[in-house]
Amino acid sequence: MYQVMCGIILSALMVVSSVLLTLRWFQVVHGNTDLLTTFYASLLTASLGLLMILNLHVMRRTVEEVESAKRVTSIGYREIEERLMERLSRGLKDIEDRLSELERRMYR
């Protein structure tokens, strides 16, 4: 939320500075001001600022999705590992039981 607020403040600052610079440029070059061009400059700057905020939001959402996918795969791997260990331990127990049975038969 802090980053979005900073983005909004910086976008507003960009708009104000573009309006002031455009007005000053017209006063220096032409001696008068063109409000339509000033409006277009401020609209361009506002759209650029909003585009940056949107990109920040999209990047944050993408990072959250990647982290969520990492957690899901981590949990999935743990489940698979636990299942395999359970099957292996059952298999090893069966083998050990059979070996001990064979050993008992051999000693008889």
Say how far apart CA 4 and CA 86 lie, in whole Å. Answer: 48
Give the count of domains, the chain: 1
Query: What is the separation of C-alpha 73 from the centre of its chain, rounded to a whole number of angstroms?
Result: 17
Say how far apart CA 81 and CA 76 lie, in whole Å. Answer: 9
Which structural domain range is residue 27 located in? 2-80
Neighbours of 19 (CB within 10 A): 16
Alpha helices in 1-108 (DSSP H): 2-29, 35-107
- Higher local confidence (pLDDT), 34 or 84: 84
pLDDT in tens, 10-29: 788 888 888 888 888 888 88
- Higher local confidence (pLDDT), 33 or 63: 63
Q: Looking at the domain assignment, is residue 71 inside a domain?
A: yes
Q: Looking at the domain assignment, is residue 27 inside a domain?
A: yes
Kindly report the pTM of this predicted structure: 0.55
The residue type found at 92 is L
First and final C-alpha spacing in the chain: 78
pLDDT band at 81 (very low <50, low <70, confident <90, very high): confident
Task: Check whether 66 has a pLDDT greater than 90.
Answer: yes
Token pair of 66, please? 């990647």
Q: Looking at the domain assignment, is residue 106 inside a domain?
A: no
Tell me what the pLDDT averaged over the chain comes to. Answer: 83
